[in-house]
Amino acid sequence: MSDAEQPRLRAALLAWFDRQGRDLPWRQGPEGRRDPYRAWVAEVLLQQTQVARGLEYYHRFLTAFPSVQVLAAAPLDDVLKAWEGCGYYARARNLHRAAQQVTREGLPRTHAEWLALPGVGPYTAAALSSFTQNAPHAVNDGNVRRVLARLHAEPAPTPRWVQQQADALLDPARPGAWNEAVMDLGATVCTPKRPQCGVCPLSDWCGARASGQPGNYPAPKTRPAVQTVQAVAVLIGNAQRAVLERRDGALLGGLLGLPAQPFDPAQPGAPAQALHELCARLNAAPGPLLGEVTHTMTHRQVTWQVYAATGGPPLTDVGSAALSRLDHKALALAGRRAQSLFPV
């Protein structure tokens, strides 16, 4: 594609976007002047969450924290509870920290100021500066990567290559709309499987379509192997009130959850030893096995053997605590056991 063709390509995509762009609640405000707080919350939510699922969490979060000031003043536990089920809880912790910074210093006015906030990387800074200030910064995400790889028939696009192509094609007059348009095209037309080339506004310029095999571009990424983690967990109390501990780590850090201890399944007697050590730490007595639960988080599959136990630290109200899905699955075992012991 020659430089002379770029204006026609931009015009075609932007005309399609003006007709077919998604009506999303965080796109409030005029083009290039979106509401910064709503756009920011949405971009953080959508970093690891698809739009269809993210809508539910977005509305729930905005109901709980309708402004950056309300978010900044809220206890972290309340923020994590509102984020519950969305995963990648470091996003919520960073958003809370960043909101406190914004209440002291004001909302970012430049790409560099967005980039200086906790949890905001190059993609999010480019998105927010273009959406809210119409700044000329091109975004680079999975949808953009796929659209540009197909446009240029590039089977193995590197992040640097994608950014270079995105920068070159960015519409200088409407950068915010252009970024939204490329992402919408990738999400609704130029999809990973069965791309709808017949209705694509860029089909006349698309190298992948010309090849006859658009689905081959880009080539699939090599996925890391799923790591399996096995642990014992104890339920002291019941599904309404139980002993909970504060989690750490990137995925679940800040959440509360049932006490658990990993073990190496290759070692003989490892589950029993892990249960003994866990109960000794809690000053609790182990009880019967309630069942087994499994949950996959990113590239990690975690399996818990869940035991009842007695004694230990004080109980916590489960309903008000922010818990992972794995913990909710484990707590559900207590309800099923109660039903089996006391059938209706």
Q: List, by residue number, the catalytic residues.
A: 43
- How far is Cα 130 from Cα 174, in angstroms, rounded to an integer? 9
> Tokens representing 310?
């007695």
Contacts of 47 (CB under 8 A, 6+ apart): 88, 91, 124
Report residue 209: phi and psi, to 5°. -65, -40
DSSP string covering 88-124: -THHHHHHHHHHHHHHHH-S--SHHHHHTSTT--HHH
- How far is Cα 122 from Cα 128, in angstroms, rounded to an integer? 10
Q: Residue 309 is inside which H or E element, if any?
A: strand 300-311
Which residue type occupies 259? P
Q: Is the distance from CB of 164 to CB of 125 less than 8 angstroms?
A: no
Report CA dihedral (32, 38, 44, 50) to the nearest 10 degrees.
-90
Angle of CA points 317, 321, 325, to nearest 5°: 120
Going 147 to 148 to 150 to 156, the CA torsion angle's sign is negative
Q: Which residue stretches of the chain are H helix? A: 6-20, 36-45, 51-64, 68-73, 76-83, 90-105, 111-115, 122-133, 142-151, 159-169, 175-188, 207-211, 270-282, 325-341
- How far is Cα 199 from Cα 12, in angstroms, rounded to an integer? 12
Report CA dihedral (145, 150, 151, 156) to the nearest 10 degrees.
60
DSSP string covering 157-192: --HHHHHHHHHHH--SS-HHHHHHHHHHHHHHTS-S
